[in-house]
Every structure is written in C-alpha cells, then in structure tokens.
Amino acid sequence: MTAKNRLSLPQQYLFLQRSKTTLGDGSLDPNRLEWRFLAQPTPLSRTYRMTMVLERDGTPDVRVVGPDLRLLAGRRDLPHIYHDPDRLCLYLPGTGQWDDSKRLDLTIIPWTHLWLIFFEEWLLSGDWKGGGKHPGEDDPDEGNRALRRSLRRRR
Amino acid sequence: MNQIFSHPLPDTAIQRRAQVFTILEEFCQELEWTQTQFEKARTSYEAVADWLARSSDPLLASLHVYLHGSGALGTSIKPIGRDEFDVDLISFILGLCPDVAPARLKAAIGQRLREHAYYASILEEKKRCWRLNYAGDFHLDISPTMANPNCLNGGELVPDRKLRDWHATNPRAYRALFDERAALVPTLTQSIIAAQRDAATTEPFPVRQSVKGILRRTVQLLKRHRDQEFLHVQEEIAPISIIITTLAMRSYEMCVRRHVFADELQVLIDTIRLMPVFIERPLVDGRQIYAVWNETTQGENFAERWNDEPARVEAFYKWHGKALADFEALRDLVGLDAIVGSMKDSLGDQLVTRTINRRMDALNDGRKTGALMLGASVGLTTQKLAASTPVATNEFFGD
C-alpha cells in the first residue's frame, strides 16, 4: 500500500463534515474517527442509523445501530457481514477498492447505502443481488494472495 | 373543493408514496399486452370482421364489428398463470327487428365462422357468444347484437345468458363515457410543492406520471387484485370486471370533481374507498334489489346476478374491504421488503418480482457504467443532482 496519497483521520473527518450527501456527526481523536449518520438508500427504504469507525492504520468498521438487522432477517443468516459483532462487508480487501488514500464520504458511505438496498431486497427474495465474493471462494486472480493476507489480518 | 388530505406530508413520505405509485405503474405495464400482442390481435379481429362482413346470409347483410370490453377501454390485464388475453368483439347487425330469436342470430354468426376452414378449427361455442382460440396469444369472443329501438342513446340488444331474450346494452356509449371520465385530471396538492416532486424523480427509480391516467390503472390494479384474491375460490362469485370498472369510473369522477388530493396514490385509494356508494338498492316489485346500472342505457343492471346469488354480494364487499386495506397498506408501509412483500401478496408474486428485478438490474447497470450517484435526501440515483456523489466501484465481501 502506498503512503503517498494517504488521508489522515482529520482530513477524512473534514470531508465527512462537508459532504452534502451524508448527514451525520461524529468525533475525532488522534487515533480514532467515529461518524454517526442516517442512511436511507431509496425513498422506499427504511432509514438506518449507522456508525462508521476508522482507527489509525485500520480499516473502516461500519455497523447498523438500528433497526436490528437480525430481527428483520428472522432466522436467516445475514449476507455479506463480518461477524461478532456484525459489521458490513462493503468491499473486497486487498484490491485497492478501499485503502487509506480513499475518501470515506465517496466510498464507504455510498457503499453502505448500496449494501442496505440489497439487504432490503434480500429480505424479500432471499437472493443477494449486489454481487461480490464470499471468503474461501477461489479466485485465480493475482489479487487473491493480497486478499488472503488481508483476511488473515482481519480475523 | 374539499381536501380529503389535509396534513402536509413530510418529504420522505412524499417521495416514498411517489415511488410506490411508480412501482404500481410499472407493474401495470407488466400486466398489459405488449405492442406485438396488440398488433397481432388487431390483425386477427380485423380479418374476422372482414370475413363476417362478406357473408351471403341475408340476416348478416349489414354488419359492423367493433372492439368492446377491456380491450376497448384500455384496461385489459393478463390472466394469472396464462399469457392469453380476452379480446371482446361485438358483431353489430343492422336492420334487424327484435323479433329475430337470439339463438338464430347467434347460429348465423357461428355458421359463417364455420365456413372458414381455419376459423372452424379454432371455434368454440360459448353460452352467449362464439370464441376463436388463438392458442398461446388470445381468444376473440364474438357477441352478436342489434339496435335497441327503445334506447334513445343509440343502444344495442345482446342475447341474454339463456339465449331466450334480448338484453339492453350499450358498449359504444359506455366506452365514450369511460374515456371521458378517464380523461379527467385530478388536482394534486403536490403540484404546489414542485421542488420536492422533482427531487422524488430519480433514476433508476424514476417517478412516472401514469401514462394511461389513474382511472385505467385503478381498474387494472383492482381486476388483478380480484384475480389474485379469488385464485383458489372454486365458486363463481368473484366480482365481474364490468362491475369493478363501472364503480371505479363513477367513484373516480366524483373524487376528481369534488376533491383535492395529496398525490396519485391517494386518488387511487379514495377512488377505491368510494366505489360502494354507486351500488344502488332500488325497490323493484316490492323487493329491495342490488343494482349497478349501466348509465348509458335503460335497464342494464350489471349486478343482476347478485339478486339471485347472495354469495356474490358478500364476495364483493369482502373483496372490496381487502382491496382498500391492501392499497392503504402500500401507502403507509416503509421498507422495500415490506412494501414489495405486501404487493406480492395482494397482486401476485411473479409479475411483482419481475417489476422489482428490473429495478435492481437498473441499479446494477448504474454501478457498472459509473452512472450511479448518491444524492442528498433521495438516496441512490442515476440522475445527476446538484448535491450528489458518484458511487465508486466495489464488490461486497464477507459471509
């Protein structure tokens, strides 16, 4: 990962505060950024209360505060989630889709909305229409090694 | 003007309700004939009309074939589980006296159809009419009629169900009245808040004005709801389309002329709500009967059978209550899964799923082409708004 365009936590925080498309507020410590926001992916959808936490040198941790996704899903396992605690899986690690040169307000925030609309549709159809990958899915791509490495870091 | 809806709606509700109506509109497009099907049916019925017109039977010397029923009104829908449409034709025979027996006139039409080898092979006799089955596409029902000398409104006479007598009807005037009412445009308070409306007009979920007008969509949605509701009912008690259509057009006219509405969805709901107002209970021969009158002729009661079969009355009111509750629920529910789930229950799984899948495909297309944006207060959209950010490419991960 290159460090040349790396965005600091205060820079990320400023972008979030200035964004017209995410309404929220947050807090900033030297080592930790927290952003609380509301996400309604389409006018038909519920409004979800979200938190996003980014620690220094870490990866964004996105959670739904409410409504309770597990309650909505009933007995089904939630799709595209990191477990314990439940966090949204928004991008493929190690592929550069997100790294610390990418603005949260232009990546993680829109992806959260996408995740939520696919989640609501999944509640309906049982079929995740947003695409993506599950861990362990074999991928002959070069990125795979980086992916496995990144996964080990996460688990 | 009365305003049925008096509280201003919050923006989120305005946008949600506009989207619900748009999905219903898209669903109706799934319910309809495709242009190809329509053209095919038209070519076929024009050919049949031509064949009948060239009959050498003196009884059929002067004959005019025209489309009536839902095909003529623009309210036809696909039957559940089949792709075949009903196409209703009137074969209006001029210059006859009402002393011609209905059975005789019907037989003359049947005879003429049998003279054509292909028609003979797809011909089926029904109680009051002849049916040509174009398997997989549609069937043409051809009913003979003649002029009604007692109707001042240019009405016609059609054989009754037992082929014993003539029965007053007036398909051409009915169609003209329906078209006139369908052309009425409701006053929507939303036009006052145009800015919010524009914000609600977002791709890939664009808000569409109903292309056919709200009345036709109301009739189509109610007929579909009826089909779904009575799908597993064995008895023949479901409200017939002409009753639904007549009550809806009268209610729509009253609503639109007297009231102001928040939005299209509210027009739909209030039109449904007020339909029973037009079920009359006149005293006839000392008996209080049910009547849904054909306003365009004398003596055609579309609810005639309700008076001998009380199960039909009960079925109507029960269905109507359910339909009203279901459309009100669509107005008030929140969450794609809740709204669309309710739609699937009340309007049928398959076509609702197809409608929603098209939307999800549009969303994924936007992701691929980079056209997808996240807009302030509207969420995901493929429309470029002042306050919006592009959605970068991503792949979801995780269990």
CB contact at 8 A, B351 and B30:
yes
CA distance A151 to chain B (A): 10
CA distance B389 to chain A (A): 7
- The answer to whether residue B352 neighbours chain A at the CB level (below 8 Å) is no
Residues B57-71 have a mean pLDDT of: 91
Residue A91 to residue B396, Cβ atoms within 8 A = yes
For B200-258, the pLDDT digits (tens) are 444 444 555 556 899 999 999 999 999 999 999 999 999 999 999 999 999 999 999 99
What is residue B178's three-state secondary structure? Answer: helix
Counted residue by residue, chain B has a size of 399
Tell which CATH classification among 3.40.1190.20, 3.40.50.150, 3.30.420.80, 3.30.460.90 matches the domain B35-169. Answer: 3.30.460.90
* Ramachandran angles phi, psi of B382, nearest 5°: -105, 10
Q: How far apart are CA B159 and CA B31, in angstroms?
A: 31
Q: How far apart are CA B267 and CA A155, in angstroms?
A: 55
Q: How far apart are CA B143 and CA B300, in angstroms?
A: 16
Question: What integer pLDDT is reported at residue A1 of this predicted model?
Answer: 46
User: What are the chain A neighbours of B337 within 8 Å (beta carbons)?
Assistant: 72, 120-121, 123-124
Q: Which of residues 196-225 of B touch A (CB under 8 A)?
A: 200, 202, 205
Domain membership flag for residue A137: yes
Q: Which amino acid is at A23?
A: L
Structural domain that includes position A44:
9-154
* B181 C-beta neighbours (distance < 10 Å), count: 19
> Residue B308 is encoded by which pair of tokens?
């001998």
Of B208, B29, B311, B366, which Cα lies nearest the Cα of A117?
B366
Q: How far apart are CA B304 and CA B167, in angstroms?
A: 12
A with B: how many residue pairs have Cβ under 8 Å apart?
Answer: 153
CB contact at 8 A, A73 and A86:
no
Q: How far apart are CA B253 and CA B243, in angstroms?
A: 16
Locus of tokens 């196409």? B87
Question: What integer pLDDT is reported at residue B199 of this predicted model?
Answer: 47
Domain membership flag for residue A35: yes
Residues B151-180 have a mean pLDDT of: 93
Domain membership flag for residue A3: no
Contacts of B5 (CB under 8 A, 6+ apart): B189, B260, B261, B262, B266
What is the overall mean pLDDT for chain B? 89
Using omega within 30 degrees of 0 as the cis cutoff, is the peptide bond preceding A85 cis? Answer: yes
Q: How far apart are CA A133 and CA A115, in angstroms?
A: 13
pLDDT band, very low/low/confident/very high, at A5 (cuts 50, 70, 90)? confident
**Which 8-state DSSP code applies to residue B141?**
E
* B197 C-beta neighbours (distance < 10 Å), count: 17
User: What are the chain B neighbours of A40 within 8 Å (beta carbons)?
Assistant: 12, 379
pLDDT at B397 over 80: yes
pLDDT over 70 for what percent of chain A? 85
Locus of tokens 């054509």? B116
Partner residue facing A89 (CB), from B336, B388, B396: B396
Question: What integer pLDDT is reported at residue A155 of this predicted model?
Answer: 42
- The answer to whether residue A30 neighbours chain B at the CB level (below 8 Å) is no
CB contact at 8 A, B342 and B333:
yes
Locus of tokens 């839902």? B70
Domain membership flag for residue A144: yes
User: What are the chain A neighbours of B15 within 8 Å (beta carbons)?
Assistant: 43
Locus of tokens 């797809």? B122
In terms of Cβ atoms closer than 10 Å to its own Cβ (0-12, 13-18, 19+), residue B11 is middle
User: What are the chain A neighbours of B397 within 8 Å (beta carbons)?
Assistant: 80, 89-93, 132-135
Question: What integer pLDDT is reported at residue B197 of this predicted model?
Answer: 47
More confident residue, B386 or B89: B89
Residues B40-68 have a mean pLDDT of: 91
CA distance A36 to chain B (A): 16
Domain span(s) for CATH 3.30.460.90 in chain B: 35-169
Q: How far apart are CA B230 and CA B222, in angstroms?
A: 12
CB contact at 8 A, B213 and B183:
yes
Domain membership flag for residue A79: yes
The 3-class SS string of B308-357 reads CCHHHHHHHHHHHHHHHHHHHHHHHCCCHHHHHHHHHHHHCHHHHHHHHH
Least confident of B82-96, B104-118, B216-230: B82-96
Domains held by chain A: number: 1
Domain membership flag for residue A32: yes
Domain membership flag for residue A37: yes
User: What are the chain A neighbours of B379 within 8 Å (beta carbons)?
Assistant: 40-43, 45, 113, 117
For A62-101, the pLDDT digits (tens) are 999 999 999 999 999 999 999 989 999 999 888 889 999 9
Q: How far apart are CA B6 and CA B8, in angstroms?
A: 6
**Most confidently modeled range among B10-14, B165-169, B274-278:** B274-278
pLDDT band, very low/low/confident/very high, at A40 (cuts 50, 70, 90)? very high
- Tell me whether strands B85-93 and B287-288 are parallel, antiparallel or unpaired: unpaired
**Which one of A37, A42, A87 makes the best mutation probe of the B interface by having the most chain B beta carbons within 10 Å?**
A42
pLDDT at A154 over 80: no
Contacts of B188 (CB under 8 A, 6+ apart): B260, B261, B262, B263, B264, B267
pLDDT at B185 over 80: yes
Cα angle, residue B336 at apex, residues A84 and A26 outer, rounded to 5°: 50
CB contact at 8 A, B317 and B238:
no
Q: How far apart are CA A155 and CA A136, in angstroms?
A: 13
Q: How far apart are CA A37 and CA B163, in angstroms?
A: 71
pLDDT at B267 over 50: yes
CB contact at 8 A, A118 and B383:
no
Residue of B nearest to A18 (CA): B387
Question: How high is the ipTM of this complex?
Answer: 0.85
